[in-house]
Amino acid sequence: MTRHPSPALSLLAVATLLCAVVPSASAQSSDAQRAQLKAAITDAERGQFNAAQAGTLSRNPAYGWLEYANLRRNIETVSNDQAQSFLKRYDGQAVATTFRSVWLPAVARRQDWATLLANWAPTENTGLRCAQLSARQATGKIDAQWTSEAQELWRKNGKALPDGCDAVFTALQAQGGLSDALRWERIDAAADAQQPAVMRSAARGLPAADLALATDYAAFVDSPNAKALNWPRNERSKRIATDGLEKLAKANPDATEQQLPQYAQALGLSAEQQAQVRYQIALWTVASYLPDSARRLNAVPDSAYDERLHEWRVREAMSRGDWPATLAAIRKMGPTQRADSRWTYFEARMLEKTGQAAQAKAVFARAASSPTFHGFLAADKLQQPYMLCPWKPNDSASARAAVSRDPAIVRAMELYRIDRASWATAEWNSALAKFDDTQRRLAVEVAQENGWFDRAVFSLGKQPDEQRLYHLRFPLHHDGSIRREASRNAIDPAWVAAEIRAESIFSPNARSPANAMGLMQVLPATGAAVAKSIGLTNYGGASSLYDPDTNIAIGTAYLRQLMNKYDGLPYVTIAAYNAGPTPTARWQGQRPGFDPDLWIETISYKETREYVARVLAFSVIYDWRLNGDALPLSDRLMGKLVDTRKKFTCTAAAGAKAD
């Protein structure tokens, strides 16, 4: 019987026959070659690696990832020689780092400690750090440095650590490095993190009396109980009680408010600790606009307020239509928070609502200098042009060409174009780690030319001026389809583009954890229903949602259907597109007749509240990109496709950031 070499060995043989030549970064791949590489990687992942095919792809810039795919498929049986040969060939590249992160755990599982130590590289991966400590312990290399590193991991946070760390802490205990004080330190941190299971685990090894108390502490964090009334009256008991009551407040603010006084009295909780609990009681009451919201907010001392609670105090008063109280709440904010365009705008609105028109106008003027949702609304109030100061740097062609030839950037683009986004991102991050600000900006331009539009969102913003790179931060693709489908459904095309930017950043293969797919993140069930309703004869099931034209046709038609359901109001439609019909109906019922800007601000879901404002702000930017001017945002909110258009201007006072 003929014996065939293992796929991993075959790949090593190919590399050896090719004299271990690492592919040239400047190699250019055709679409046909990319298709070959994509298929070869898929085959390797299925255990069907083809050594002959691999040889024909050896000059592809991303060839190392084909090798990686095959080695990963066989990671438990990859020999040390194979692994070390791979690491040597691709030393310094993202593919080597990625391979090491999957190979070393396999090495640890077979307890080949010498190999693990020989191939170790610093990492933030806690599991690997524990494996390395285990290797040093097993090979007799426990010293003061080992103890210090093990204690650092123990202290790292109050959350659960990987199972592989258990052996490290057992050894630490045996060496006398895990004192009772350290156990209590972790118990305290776990209580703060509201992790009772970690508290129990950390307590093992304490003397019996301490263990019993620690177990009681963990039970209280799980569910506050009367045993705490007899705890030692010390700082730790107070801390644990505060942690447990804060946790309870998230689930049941009513019960927490009722129980707080008895624990405060029995344990002597400080005014600050009681304020921490009252903060959570108020927050989890007002976040759902429950009865007693105002009273509970007022029970929180001013010293315990942070930006988050200040915002909720404003929204609570706003939700009741109490304009003087809303204005007072805004004016209690700190100067930095109050100066944000959102709160500057609402301060002006409350001045307007309370009959102080002249003062409102001056405050609107401050907000209108910002190219944001609230800045655009303020400009509408003043009937002024929108502020927008685009920046298009005059970078040299040679600098851009140099970035485009960077080996890691070349590999990143190759991988992205064969739908290996996570690998592409690893190469991208490797490149950007050594780039300066100009090179990073130019890399984003290269990515956009390759259809990788989200790099602008994830890679720009380190410098304030980068927020003004609107041509990069707001890409525009498939504009023909956008215009066509928007016209067919009587919807502003800028809105459709804004939805795509908010949902997928123009990535046609985007897929959410909820299985929303494609440019406009359409759920398969929604896609099928809408396709049927509009008579889309070429709809081929869920996979069709990855086709840009199909996705735009379905997503835009769905927006139209929602618009019809919600009385032609885009701001309600956008909320429903994000959150669904049930919460949207609740918000409509809670605040009927509210002005659109106030209704949006009092949406209880943070994600949806910010999403609606973001999409509407993006619509203004995309109107500018598509047409050079914009539909007034105050009309856009109401679905009025009016003839009046707003101009854009730039002054020294204009802000840089778009929401």
- As annotated, the active-site residues are 503
Neighbours of 92 (CB within 10 A): 9
Chain mean position to CA 437 = 23
Q: How far apart are CA 240 and CA 205, in angstroms?
A: 20
Q: For residue 2, with 0-12 CB atoms within 10 Å meaning exposed, 13-18 middle and 19 or more buried, which class applies?
A: exposed
Q: How far apart are CA 528 and CA 542, in angstroms?
A: 8
Check if the beta carbon of residue 187 is closer than 8 Å to that of residue 214: yes
Q: Which residues contact 156 (CB under 8 A, 6 or more apart)?
A: 126
Q: Phi/psi at 152 (nearest 5 deg)?
A: -60, -40
Phi first, then psi: give them for residue 646, nearest 5 degrees: -100, 140
Q: What is the largest CA-CA distance in the chain?
A: 95
Which CA distances in Å does 19 have to 22, 52, 65, 431, 443?
A: 9, 16, 18, 26, 32
CA atoms within 13 A on the CB side of 620: 31
- For 649, the enclosing helix (H) or strand (E) is strand 648-649
Q: Is 629 exposed, middle or buried (0-12, 13-18, 19+ CB in 10 A)?
A: middle
276: Cβ contacts below 8 Å, ≥ 6 apart: 242, 246, 304
Contact present, 226 and 199 (Cβ < 8 Å)? no
CA distance 384 to 462: 30
Q: Is 387 helix (H, G, I), strand (E, B) or coil?
A: strand
- Which residues lie below 8 Å from residue 316, measured CB to CB, with a gap of 6+? 286, 289, 293, 294, 297, 329
In three-state form (DSSP H/G/I as H, E/B as E, the rest C), the secondary structure along 446-511 is HHHHCCCCCHHHHHCCCCHHHHHCHHHHCCCCCHHHHHHHHHHCCCCHHHHHHHHHHHCCCCCCCE
Is residue 648 helix, strand or coil? strand
Contacts of 197 (CB under 8 A, 6+ apart): 160, 218
Copy the structure tokens of residue 91. 């030393």
Report the alpha-carbon distance of residue 461 to residue 605 in Å, rounded.
26
Cα separation, 422 vs 259, in Å, equals 49
Single out the residue of 574, 636, 581, 583 nearest to residue 611, CA to CA. Answer: 574
CA 295, chain centre distance (Å): 34
Answer yes or no: are the C-beta atoms of 631 and 642 closer than 8 Å: yes
Residue 454 has φ and ψ, to the nearest 5°, of: -75, -10
Contact 13, 5 (CB under 8 A): yes
Is 546 in contact with 474 (CB distance < 8 Å)?
A: no
Cross-strand partners of 649 = 387
Task: Give dist(CA 414, CA 448) in Å, integer.
Answer: 13
Q: In whole angstroms, what separates CA 576 from the centre of its chain?
A: 21
